[in-house]
């Protein structure tokens, strides 16, 4: 079965440090890949997505992610963390199922804490 694994349910970094949130997926075909962010008491919003083409994808707020097919990974990075980056981050894959619909499968989420 297709799945999404996010390594580390909690990640803590200092302000200005590198942010690295890990995501691995299992899929027999190349999926569409997404990172969403959820700020406290809010819904999810899209950070970035990979569909086809360039494997390094840039998103909002200085985040980027690289699709590595050989490693089935889509890790999210940001060179320098800001206090406002504290949130929960979800990796997701979109897979085509019979009947013509695409289903979004989410990882369990990683809560990022940023310390002064």
Partner 1 sequence: EAQVTQNPRYLITVTGKKLTVTCSQNMNHEYMSWYRQDPGLGLRQIYYSMNVEVTDKGDVPERYKVSRKEKRNFPLILESPSPNQTSLYFCASSPYGGASEQYFGPGTRLTVT
The residue (of 57 and 114) whose beta carbon lies closer to partner 1 is 57
DSSP codes of every residue in 50-93? E-SS-SEEE-GGG-EEEEEGGGTEEEEEESS--GGG-EEEEEEE
CB of 20 to partner 1, least distance (A): 19
Side by side, the strands of the sheet bearing 19-26 are 3-7, 19-26, 73-78, 64-68, 56-58
Is there binding between residue 108 and partner 1 (CB under 8 A)?
yes
Candidates 28, 29, 42, 54: give the one binding partner 1 (CB under 8 A).
42
Candidates 25, 34, 35, 74: give the one binding partner 1 (CB under 8 A).
34
Chain contacts with partner 1 (rule: CB under 8 A): 4, 9, 32, 34, 36, 41-46, 49, 51, 90, 94, 96, 99-104, 106-109
């Amino acid at each position: 079965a297709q799945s999404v694994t996010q390594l580390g349910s909690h990640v803590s970094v200092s302000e200005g440090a590198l942010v690295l949130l890990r995501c691995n997926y299992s899929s027999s075909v190349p999926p569409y890949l997404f990172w969403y962010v959820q700020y406290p008491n809010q819904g999810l919003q899209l950070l970035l997505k990979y569909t086809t083409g360039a494997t390094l994808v840039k998103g909002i707020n200085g985040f980027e992610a690289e699709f590595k097919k050989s490693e089935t990974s889509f890790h999210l990075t940001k060179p320098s963390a800001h206090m406002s980056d504290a949130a929960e981050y979800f990796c997701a894959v979109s897979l085509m199922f019979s009947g013509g619909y695409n289903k979004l499968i989410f990882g369990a989420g990683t809560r990022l804490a940023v310390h002064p």
